[in-house]
Structure 1
Amino acid sequence: MTPAGLRESVARLLRGAAMRVDRGWTQGGMARDAAGCQVTPRDPDAVCWCALGAILAGRGARQHACIALSRHIGGRFFGRVADWNDAAVRTAEDVASTLRACADRVERGEL
């Protein structure tokens, strides 16, 4: 895949993750079903996702997308994204808008 193709794939994945978070967001787990039980991000019963879970539920360059998001929020490790997502002050709107802003930066070649 070309660098431009990879950027496009990562940005698409991040935007898809933002759409998942718009539908349902969680903290303290990657994904949850309608009963609030933790499930894997790709489980068909998943109805809400954390930032990382929303990325991992997608297809494509997931590792690159996770790294881009981590860098976008100022971290160096995926754990930083989980801590950021789970902060008491964080909202679903924060997460979705950050995923979209990260996608924009990836498209511009900044990440």
Structure 2
Amino acid sequence: MSFSKWIRIYYNKTIESIAFYPAIIAIGFLGLSWGMLEFDFSEYGKHIKSNLSWLSLKDAGTARTIISTVAGTIISLTVFSFSMVMIVLNQAASQMSNRVLKSMIENRFQ
């Protein structure tokens, strides 16, 4: 098998994976957070924070509230996504008979 064919096969497996878009989104947000930190500590960012006082947090309670809201939102979205996957799998499994499911499981683990 040639190297280009091998790359093409694994490229197709990667982009067809169920985790492809969430991984791209996570990498994008990681880049965004890095960029925002760089901007925050740059001279231009410090200048903006000094001129716009309402932009910076004054106490730890506000930061704690923001972080807990973001964490709660992420947990809620994770539970919702997991529930949707389980509903889809349950509906797909209900369309098959017990014999078909048993033979699929036996063939999968041989």
TM-score over 0.5 for the alignment? no
**Structure (1 or 2) with the greater helix fraction:** 2
Of structures 1 and 2, the one scoring higher in RCO (CA 8 A, sep 6+) is: 1
Which structure: larger Rg? 2
Relative to the length of structure 2, the TM-score reads 0.24
Relative to the length of structure 1, the TM-score reads 0.24
